Structure 1
């Protein structure tokens, strides 16, 4: 059995039969955690980055102190290395369908069995940046009744994403928050050093999403494809998904 301490990031190795590897999960239990209340769950792909660079748990606690957000638990899904991240998160990654399946069939049930959570789709939020945003969106599109809230920070968009959007059923249940930086029209990829344009495909993604009946909010911000630009967005992102029907 795992032991989880409130107010701390609890790191565990979760055995996934679907991915055939242990997945490192970082689970943050809020400082005011109590078994007497139920919690929403925020799942973060690129979990280590959301905690280390985004400090999402600190943003949450600040908002919680001022009663701006509901009770929530944060679960970070780590990637092993850059190459395996691409294989498991990229829209065309050979293992990305396994990541989607593992989240719905293994990781979510584990969280629901371990903590007092709301067992409904609109109490589960998927977040991701860049490739992690792609797999977050693909998971929500594949299981819109299980994960019906998804926040995207500059996701990679291609034909595979477009096909999933067009095939998605229950579009009326899915709520999408989507942001991209104006400085992302031309930036250097940290791994390959190549130049990339994320702004244009994200604008194309915006147009596609708007045509399919989702609840949708789109933001363009002054900044680039980096956590320095994404971190200031997290407060609005959390309030967007965690401020309805606040329970104290």
Structure 2
């Protein structure tokens, strides 16, 4: 089996007025003659390092359990910068979401062979990275048809978006830990993540989204999220689904 490729690139964002780093994973059998779904991964470096994202993708693709995909990791620069971009009320949150939808998606689709449709685009994140992923998917459901959430911070704005969104357009993977009742935040506050996530679960389930949910035994840590990186890939990239659906454009 050939090896996957990890590319390091940079992109200039006009809406953010800054340059961002990208870590781009190409699958082992990548070919410019094929087309691929792709993921935009918040906390990108953490997902590759702590979430073992590339290893899980390689293993599952080699055993023909998932469709091969491109993963675009977006590392954060500083804790403060991360909060400004990822928190639903962060100073750069709206601009960052516009960057994802209007700058990064066209950049990836011009550089790599992809399907150019919402159903083959994925957002992924943990904690605040999950929050911005969910908000982007609910605000741009025709652009992002899938979102993976590892223990998002859920506030009133996200609940309102979930209640108004078209459930036919977005597929969601969502996990939260049973012990995430006192999570230390980067602003030195302590927040209960569990209760709002259970509320979000009720909304998403009752509204009929295509939806996976699990409350795991554990805390707000990569130790507990890591197994659900693999499960998320299996749920989102089911090979039979991609083979049976018409993914032409």
How is 1:91-130 mapped onto 2 (pairs within 5 angstroms)?
91-130=88-127
Give the one of 195, 204, 218 matched to 1:200. Answer: 195
- Map Cα deviations across residues 83-121 of structure 1 (whole Å, 9 max, x no partner): 111111101112111111111100000111111101111
CA distance in 2, matches of 1:230, 1:99: 24
CA distance in 1, matches of 2:103, 2:184: 36
**What's the counterpart of residue 53 of structure 2?**
56
Give the one of 165, 170, 175 matched to 1:174. Answer: 170
Q: Is the 8 A contact 1:40 1:118 kept in 2?
A: yes
Q: RMSD between aligned alpha carbons?
A: 1.5
CA distance in 2, matches of 1:192, 1:120: 37
CA distance in 2, matches of 1:232, 1:166: 29
Cα deviation, residue 246, structure 1: 4.7
TM-score after normalising by structure 1: 0.92
SS of residue in 1 equivalent to 2:132: helix
Cα deviation, residue 194, structure 1: 4.7
How is 1:9-24 mapped onto 2 (pairs within 5 angstroms)?
9-24=6-21
CA distance in 1, matches of 2:16, 2:187: 26
Cα deviation, residue 133, structure 1: 0.2
- Map Cα deviations across residues 121-143 of structure 1 (whole Å, 9 max, x no partner): 11111111000000000110011
**What's the counterpart of residue 3 of structure 1?**
none
Give the one of 213, 238, 241 matched to 2:236. Answer: 241
Q: Is the 8 A contact 1:144 1:171 kept in 2?
A: no
- Consecutive unaligned residues of structure 2, counting only runs of 5 or more, are 244-249
CA distance in 2, matches of 1:124, 1:86: 24
**What's the counterpart of residue 212 of structure 1?**
207
Q: Is the 8 A contact 1:38 1:71 kept in 2?
A: no
- Consecutive unaligned residues of structure 1, counting only runs of 5 or more, are 1-5
TM-score after normalising by structure 2: 0.91
**What's the counterpart of residue 225 of structure 1?**
220
Residue 246 to residue 210, structure 1, CA distance change in 2 (3 Å): closer
Cα deviation, residue 146, structure 1: 1.2
CA distance in 1, matches of 2:219, 2:187: 17
- Map Cα deviations across residues 207-244 of structure 1 (whole Å, 9 max, x no partner): 12223332222111122111111111111110101014
Q: Is the 8 A contact 2:4 2:58 kept in 1?
A: no
SS of residue in 2 equivalent to 1:127: strand
CA distance in 1, matches of 2:164, 2:66: 33
Q: Is the 8 A contact 2:147 2:171 kept in 1?
A: yes
- Map Cα deviations across residues 11-46 of structure 1 (whole Å, 9 max, x no partner): 212100011101111111112111121101011111
CA distance in 2, matches of 1:38, 1:231: 27
CA distance in 2, matches of 1:240, 1:16: 32
